Structure 1
């Protein structure tokens, strides 16, 4: 705590003050208001809460103060607490400081615990080039911007009408630790201002009835005999206090000497009830500092350094050999790599390298018993976010982790959701994790309510990410298919779902299937299988797979094929038994690419037929050795298998069976279907403030199945995490993506979906930034118009957004045109807010519009309220003569003349100049005309250029005239006919005539000079003399004089003077001067001491001088004083030698000897 106390305050103390701590500077002013006390004041308790009367005594009035309580009242007032009965000098001064940036400063306030309070600061923005920056601090360095949350909110808004910025600090549900000193700083470029204010938080007052136990309060906290005394004064009736006749006691002197444990007892004895005010005054009372004998220069009160930097503390000692100790928080500092001690002469230095927060402490330098103390404040650099948060999209019930990385380990961060701070709660919904520079927000079991924008804040930056939560939707990638198998074969039901964690149950005819020796149930990843070995007739039925937790199922039928062999002795022609023969769509067999196709074709014939498989026109190609195609023949069956069907396996397959009895043929149409090809990279058509419109083309190959829709994903450009925007296939090829952050770069990609599945992703789109177009330009109006030209002007849009304004586009069209008939006024964009459009059709009604462009595209158009007819508006000609030309313009010869005469008139008027009703000489005068003014220019003016100049502007038969008078002035000629009219005594009368040439202006006076004919040195007699005659006086007798006269006008003296033809001689009168005779005076005087010797006390070993003064005529001779003996250890009365040239008093005084005994 540092304080400045001013005693016996006066009006000259009302000036500006500043306190500097390190690199921080705070300004404040002291204002003094004279108090007017109109009568005796009643003593009121300084603390309003204490002064409030008890409920038992509502009509009692406070008693008059005693002498002992007077210091308490003055002390309380000095602390700035204004009781009701005291003058207004102690109330806070609400007048504004007109020299700073604040138009309204935040004022100190009081609040009860749990209540709200708002501090308001206002800054005028008229003189500021950009928005000012405001910071709120508590104490010295705590920036409140990082403390915003439940109890503290910082708001700001701007009034466009008054151009005033308003900044508010809202304290909600105040707590006791909120009390203290606050500071508001505002800065704008090179301007800076700050204001200090205080907040007092009181405990909430109870409205309960009177508690008698509060009356018996103990008044002492010391451990003496009086400890525990009870105070019954609150129960006693108040009586008049008798004035004590004892001498007044200074209670503050007693308190300064007492220990803090005795403060309450002393306050009770002297009637001080405001203990808080008493303690404040004791702190602010100035302490007398004794001059240090060990330190010539002490440490500064405080030092400030940024974290990681170096600080050097310096002192100066009186004794260069003194031993110095440095202490930190009372512990001695030892020499290490970071702490360095230096000694240069009588200077001592303590250097701390690479300062950390642990170095923020109190430092002491000690020399013997004396010490000097300072504080070091280590300021942390702003914590930056190195790696930003990433958007996430999860399913309901999953766990989410938002991770960011900051620049400093152990930095404090704040997490927010949609602007509300997140804290730990009992349900452990949110968990916060720190790992070095990494900070993680963990959300367990997310729900739809957790959707929103999550923000992490540090004191140097912030990062924002979005969380999207989707309900779980199970997708079936491969359903189970009907099977037809023979006895002893294997039946396999297989399905694939989207979630590998989903379990399921198999049912047969509604009864759950249990695994046994023949039945196997497997779940590997997303694939569920039911395998039945050695199929029997009882295995035939409907099989169903039901995923757990989802209200749907997958069903298929198992058909048992019973083969009966009848012996027929005769030959039977071969026969193929198939239901899917032919090439119709109904008989086509579909197989998904990558899956296995197995065709089990029943055949009959006796003897056993030979089977041949062909594809298309190729015959006999399909054998057992054809790669992934296998052909197998058994008794009664021919089996055709394709392992991992591919797109080229699609086609018509023919099976031919032959035996001696005949042959049979069947065609099987196989179609291989696959996921579609990925679409081309999407195109961004337009962007908005938080959205974009994206378009793409369908894939070139749909996989053999129609595309049922598309799935879109987006990600931030600097991120690696793609977020899905839709779960259900989107059927259109144009999509509007929303919920993006303005100013952040994104990329988009698309998947195509058909009945088989989802394609690979497309290539990413070009990066784009969501930016909203600006608002429309404002104030569009017509500035000027002619037959083929129009001039438009407008103002910038009110809202520009985060993107830079690229320019303006101006378009026009005829009245009543269609929306697509607007014509650009020029190519490209213009950055100016005014434009001239030329070559417009005369007489047409035209409409104009202006749009602002940024990277998001054009803004809404600003149009004129009505169409404009392109035609020159007739304007009467009018000359506007400048104020300085309404009177005669005076110029010196040789000066330049440049007259600019503005005028108005449409169409362009005809301008004519004349001088004295005659045309101007173009060799001497230049005339330049424009649409709005005319210029008359003369490079070097002459006397003949003087005169009256008339200018005329004319449109058809309407005209206007104006005149300008110009006067060219020059130096005057010499006066004429200077004559000496008369000479008498020491005087000469002169007379002359004015000059013929006055320089084209009035003669303002004359300068008359004289010269003695002997020396011919000219001396000025009169200057600025206005008459044409004068009398020259005080001439010297016996000299002969000549005279000359110069003429003066506003330009200066005439180049040549007029000399007098004759001279004036001052004759001698012939009278002899006889001086009076006087008796000679005797000035001799006896010597006398005018200043005697004075007594002096001198220091042993130093020279001593004793002096005296003597007056006398004639001058006195020198007086010497000799002192014999050793005066090193003697102290006596010595006489100084007399000054040189003093008068000797007597012969004996010339040499004087003094003697004294040794001590």
Structure 2
């Protein structure tokens, strides 16, 4: 078979040929490659062939062979061998037997018929019990047009891809994928899928096993998927995905499961099976032919006919007729087989390259779909699920030559669809799978530190909005650490983000202790205490025995107050009572004394009496109550009859007292026998003052003052101030709170946080007594905020407002290289380099200061900062010795100063005048007329020297020349130069009696004038002698040459004869006989040609000369001979030599030479055969000329009877 595409160079030196073999035989195809290391693969119907029992593939050196064993009728298909980009096709033909009965499979298709379809690319048939699907490395180097129909390689990780396979029900099959690990940093991850998203890793078990192993020698990972005892529902599309870090590849393959093979022996049930080809289907007709008696088969001598090929080509209306003609009774089975048969796909006329079957992309990434069209001008439409796509920001259409691209940016799950590309009526379809990436933790949980009993919040950030997040607190393993009052909990076994919770346990404070009681019989005894934590529970004990509540004994816990109440006290209630808070190692104790009262009737009245231990106005007798708590004053009183009680309140002693009653809302006043009780619910600051109780009865009255002080937590301090910052620290200061809560502030607690964070971190756990604090261990370049709490004996205040954000930065290093650049009587110029270390903060500028020698008072040289590294300080005292320093400033403040090594005296230094003439001005400066002249000549000298310019020892004309002087240079400027500006310019700089001079020569050049007196001196043959004189005006520079031109009088077209010709006479050659010529000459200098030429006044005619005739020649055989002639012509003619009117230009026996118009033909060792008429032909655009010469070659020993011509030379 000829190759489908002819190549100029083929990789095969020997190609396989089409062979013919009989059924059951073995055939071998051989191929030989040009190189030994080339990879060769074999194909059957454009599908790769792998080694199996059916196909044997071998390779030795550059010899390759394919052996097909046990040939059957289905093997008669097209085959191909591929090496690199070369592909050779060949066929296997089946030799038909002479007497063959009609194929029973044609008459009665069996259920096993699908097994006889062309084998899968693995090369294993359905009878193989353990097939291995592999394609090896054969896909390397193959052109896209010859590749198998597999998924497009995204990164090329596979070295061997799993291929589609076929297996019978109950048999095993293995799919193999290999990945090269040489270029991978870690072990690749492989996933096997069935359908679109079913991960087969969770389906491993009895029927599915996934295995992998690694070859250390070849560094190849092998992944296998074993399907054991295949079932019919195992059939379908599969996909293998491999990934390693940022690389990804995938491959699609199919599995076809055929119906189980029938067993040997007769089964009556199978004889009555319906003739359907699909297992489990009840359709079809009953076939009783198996029960009929076998008859002798009539041997037909007709050639074998493929009925299926006839059916494929026939229209459906002819199916019944063809089936009756060839004895097919199962029409339904015939139609299903025709439907399953693979049809040869027609090559698309519109698409050179179609879309791959499927693509995969991760969510948020972009993908590019590519096709190639046959017509570059064809209109392409892209559709998504049948709807046309229009270009947007996410859908981009591109056209590059024959290629068309569809780019989808920022893919979402909505882009998971089928995409179609249409050109007219033709289309190509693919499916895009969008893989959703896993949810990642963007910002981890942060450590928290709270007090015991407080609310704590943990916050983290995930990559996807709306992602489901689970928080765990009961870990499988814990590790507890305790440091003082801090408790740390760390999770050990989980790998998800964790954080630490630091707990600080509060100390339990007793606000009100229980007091000893002395009560009488039938009275009520109340033990009351108040602690700082309202959540703390406690137990009451009497003489070491726990007290149980009963009808007379009541235990209450309301907020921070714990009460033990005993009604109708009896003598047995006397004892020691103790309250023990749970979780704390201390207790509160008091004693109950039973007072037995004997009443004697005295018929007299007792004046009222108040019995208080806290009477007076000393600090020890002041009653303290915490704001928000209940204030209860229980005052024992006596008097007979029962006295009347009045409560009053004054802000201070001696002030007017306000009478208090129950109408005040929070105030409750009650009197009992022997007691008067005053209660204020939720004490506030205004409740502080002097409370007076007045008791009256007919016998008299008594008064007592009680000083009550309400204490509270202090107010929050003002926002702290940041005094200074360091590289990893800062100094913060704050003011005490305006109100200390009635108790002195014992210290402060500081917290800090990053500006972009929500978590405050406590810096100290013990109260800090000062109002200035240095915070350390911060990160340079990160913005922080600070806040302060005030602490007194009652508790901790609310936090202050946050400070202004600040960034810990360190000052830069000192500037380097400070030195004096220039100095005068009142100014100084300083320069320096930037600091070596600047840090994370930007450099704000530099500050320059100076002071007199011996003084410590530094004076800023200017207000503010400068960003430059050079500065001029003005208004300095002349003659003083001054010291200077420079400091760099950033957010952290000034750096260390950079100072001069010694003081500088402010006085201008005398400098001798000196002109620094540039090197290019030390030689003559040449300018063309009209060009600009700009001379910049630097000089030095202090004080500023006086500059004077002259031209040829005369002052300059200010209208023609502009002069501009500065402290360091002088500029001479001429806008448009003229010839008169040429000359010697001299500049002089002078300071007092000292001076310096320099001169500059300027030459202004122009085009020269025309030459003079052009004359024709002589004429001979084809030549003319010319002579002329130099021009009068040479343009102020030397004449570098002349340009001579000639023109025919008829055409007057000028041609250059000589260019850059330096003499004033010349000879013009190669003129044409009989023509009349005119000549002209241009003068040339460094500017260019003269504007006008000098024309010749005489006319020249060339006389015609008869060309010479050449005589015949005679040479001796065996010796080289040459034939010569001369030729001239303009343009240069083309020369051709002929022998007997035959062109001999390309014959190796002859050599042609041409040297300045002399043509030579050399005949190498001529023989008598070389004799003949030689002709030389010259041709150009003006015409042609021919000269002939007859050559005779004599024998070597023939006597010479004729004299050789003059112009024939023999090399003997």
Normalised to the residue count of structure 2, the TM-score between the two structures is 0.51
Structure 1 stretch 525-534 or stretch 264-273: which is displaced more?
A: 264-273
Structure 1 stretch 942-951 or stretch 186-195: which is displaced more?
A: 186-195
Change beyond 3 A, Cα 1:686–1:512: farther
Q: Pick from 1085, 1088, 1110 the counterpart of residue 1078 of structure 1.
A: 1110
Change beyond 3 A, Cα 1:561–1:865: farther
The answer on whether the counterparts of 1:405 and 1:438 sit within 8 Å (CA) in structure 2 is no
**Alignment match, 1:219:** 275
Distance 1:894 1:266 in 2: 103
Q: Pick from 1043, 1049, 1053 the counterpart of residue 1013 of structure 1.
A: 1049
Shift of 1:897: 0.7
Report the secondary structure of 2:130's partner residue.
helix
Distance 1:471 1:1047 in 2: 111
Distance 2:342 2:1121 in 1: 42
The answer on whether the counterparts of 1:695 and 1:733 sit within 8 Å (CA) in structure 2 is yes
- Superposition CA RMSD, Å: 20.9
1:916 aligns with 2:952: yes
Change beyond 3 A, Cα 1:237–1:847: farther
Shift of 1:935: 1.9
Measured against aligned partners, the alpha-carbon deviations of 1:728-766 in whole angstroms (never above 9, x if no partner) come to 333223334455566666554433322223333434444
Change beyond 3 A, Cα 1:367–1:1030: closer
Distance 2:853 2:331 in 1: 83
Structure 1 stretch 658-667 or stretch 559-568: which is displaced more?
A: 559-568
The answer on whether the counterparts of 2:625 and 2:683 sit within 8 Å (CA) in structure 1 is yes
Change beyond 3 A, Cα 1:1101–1:325: farther
Structure 1 stretch 854-863 or stretch 158-167: which is displaced more?
A: 158-167
The answer on whether the counterparts of 2:153 and 2:249 sit within 8 Å (CA) in structure 1 is no
The answer on whether the counterparts of 2:131 and 2:172 sit within 8 Å (CA) in structure 1 is no
Change beyond 3 A, Cα 1:998–1:717: closer
Change beyond 3 A, Cα 1:924–1:862: same
Shift of 1:719: 5.9
Shift of 1:394: 4.0
Structure 1 stretch 997-1006 or stretch 732-741: which is displaced more?
A: 732-741
Structure 1 stretch 258-267 or stretch 503-512: which is displaced more?
A: 258-267
Shift of 1:25: 28
Change beyond 3 A, Cα 1:469–1:728: same
Distance 1:395 1:385 in 2: 28
Measured against aligned partners, the alpha-carbon deviations of 1:11-52 in whole angstroms (never above 9, x if no partner) come to 99999999999999999999999999xxxxxx9999999999
Structure 1 stretch 703-712 or stretch 1103-1112: which is displaced more?
A: 1103-1112
Shift of 1:1019: 6.3
Q: Pick from 619, 643, 646 the counterpart of residue 609 of structure 1.
A: 643
Report the secondary structure of 1:230's partner residue.
coil
Equivalenced residues, count? 1070
Shift of 1:934: 2.5
Change beyond 3 A, Cα 1:925–1:356: closer
Distance 2:306 2:156 in 1: 41
Taking the TM superposition and a 5 Å limit, the aligned residue runs for 1:471-550 are 473-474=507-508, 488-495=522-529, 502-506=536-540, 518-523=552-557, 528-535=562-569, 545-550=579-584
Distance 2:577 2:460 in 1: 50
Measured against aligned partners, the alpha-carbon deviations of 1:839-860 in whole angstroms (never above 9, x if no partner) come to 4445555555555555555566
Q: Pick from 749, 774, 788 the counterpart of residue 812 of structure 2.
A: 774
Normalised to the residue count of structure 1, the TM-score between the two structures is 0.53
The answer on whether the counterparts of 1:808 and 1:830 sit within 8 Å (CA) in structure 2 is yes
Report the secondary structure of 1:2's partner residue.
strand
Structure 1 stretch 907-916 or stretch 1097-1106: which is displaced more?
A: 1097-1106
The answer on whether the counterparts of 2:189 and 2:243 sit within 8 Å (CA) in structure 1 is yes
Shift of 1:705: 1.8
- Structure with larger Rg: 2
Shift of 1:926: 1.8
Shift of 1:1001: 1.1
Shift of 1:928: 2.1
Shift of 1:1000: 1.7
Report the secondary structure of 1:1108's partner residue.
strand
Structure 1 stretch 90-99 or stretch 349-358: which is displaced more?
A: 90-99
Change beyond 3 A, Cα 1:1053–1:763: closer
Change beyond 3 A, Cα 1:307–1:835: farther
Change beyond 3 A, Cα 1:186–1:793: farther
Shift of 1:895: 0.7
Measured against aligned partners, the alpha-carbon deviations of 1:212-262 in whole angstroms (never above 9, x if no partner) come to 999999999999999999999999999999999999999999999999999
Shift of 1:1056: 4.4
Measured against aligned partners, the alpha-carbon deviations of 1:271-301 in whole angstroms (never above 9, x if no partner) come to 9999999999999999999999999536579
Change beyond 3 A, Cα 1:490–1:215: farther
Measured against aligned partners, the alpha-carbon deviations of 1:75-108 in whole angstroms (never above 9, x if no partner) come to 9999999999999999999999999999999999
Q: Pick from 293, 296, 299 the counterpart of residue 355 of structure 2.
A: 299
Measured against aligned partners, the alpha-carbon deviations of 1:1018-1052 in whole angstroms (never above 9, x if no partner) come to 76554433223445567778888776544321112
Distance 1:129 1:789 in 2: 67
Structure 1 stretch 214-223 or stretch 935-944: which is displaced more?
A: 214-223
The answer on whether the counterparts of 2:512 and 2:531 sit within 8 Å (CA) in structure 1 is yes
Distance 1:876 1:49 in 2: 121
Structure 1 stretch 277-286 or stretch 793-802: which is displaced more?
A: 277-286
Structure 1 stretch 300-309 or stretch 887-896: which is displaced more?
A: 300-309
Change beyond 3 A, Cα 1:354–1:760: closer
Structure 1 stretch 966-975 or stretch 1018-1027: which is displaced more?
A: 1018-1027
Structure 1 stretch 643-652 or stretch 978-987: which is displaced more?
A: 978-987
Q: Pick from 403, 420, 427 the counterpart of residue 474 of structure 2.
A: 427
The answer on whether the counterparts of 1:1107 and 1:1138 sit within 8 Å (CA) in structure 2 is no
Shift of 1:184: 26
The answer on whether the counterparts of 2:667 and 2:679 sit within 8 Å (CA) in structure 1 is yes
Shift of 1:969: 1.0
Shift of 1:915: 3.0
Shift of 1:622: 3.1
The answer on whether the counterparts of 1:364 and 1:372 sit within 8 Å (CA) in structure 2 is yes
Unaligned runs of 5+ in 1: 37-42, 415-425, 440-464, 1063-1074, 1080-1095, 1140-1151
Report the secondary structure of 2:298's partner residue.
coil
Measured against aligned partners, the alpha-carbon deviations of 1:906-925 in whole angstroms (never above 9, x if no partner) come to 55444443333443332222
Shift of 1:345: 19
The answer on whether the counterparts of 1:76 and 1:281 sit within 8 Å (CA) in structure 2 is no
**Alignment match, 2:82:** 20
Structure 1 stretch 164-173 or stretch 593-602: which is displaced more?
A: 164-173
Change beyond 3 A, Cα 1:846–1:1057: same
Report the secondary structure of 2:335's partner residue.
helix
The answer on whether the counterparts of 1:1107 and 1:1137 sit within 8 Å (CA) in structure 2 is no
The answer on whether the counterparts of 1:221 and 1:227 sit within 8 Å (CA) in structure 2 is no
The answer on whether the counterparts of 2:74 and 2:117 sit within 8 Å (CA) in structure 1 is no
Distance 2:857 2:260 in 1: 73
Distance 2:565 2:467 in 1: 59
Change beyond 3 A, Cα 1:831–1:576: same
Structure 1 stretch 761-770 or stretch 961-970: which is displaced more?
A: 761-770
Shift of 1:889: 1.3
The answer on whether the counterparts of 1:776 and 1:797 sit within 8 Å (CA) in structure 2 is yes
Shift of 1:1002: 1.0
The answer on whether the counterparts of 1:1108 and 1:1138 sit within 8 Å (CA) in structure 2 is no
Shift of 1:186: 24
The answer on whether the counterparts of 2:1080 and 2:1096 sit within 8 Å (CA) in structure 1 is yes
Structure 1 stretch 916-925 or stretch 165-174: which is displaced more?
A: 165-174
Taking the TM superposition and a 5 Å limit, the aligned residue runs for 1:740-889 are 747-768=785-806, 783-793=821-831, 806-813=844-851, 823-844=859-880, 870-872=906-908, 877-889=913-925
Shift of 1:898: 1.0
Shift of 1:939: 0.8
The answer on whether the counterparts of 2:134 and 2:160 sit within 8 Å (CA) in structure 1 is no
Report the secondary structure of 2:458's partner residue.
strand
Shift of 1:892: 0.7
Structure 1 stretch 430-439 or stretch 1039-1048: which is displaced more?
A: 430-439
The answer on whether the counterparts of 2:355 and 2:429 sit within 8 Å (CA) in structure 1 is yes
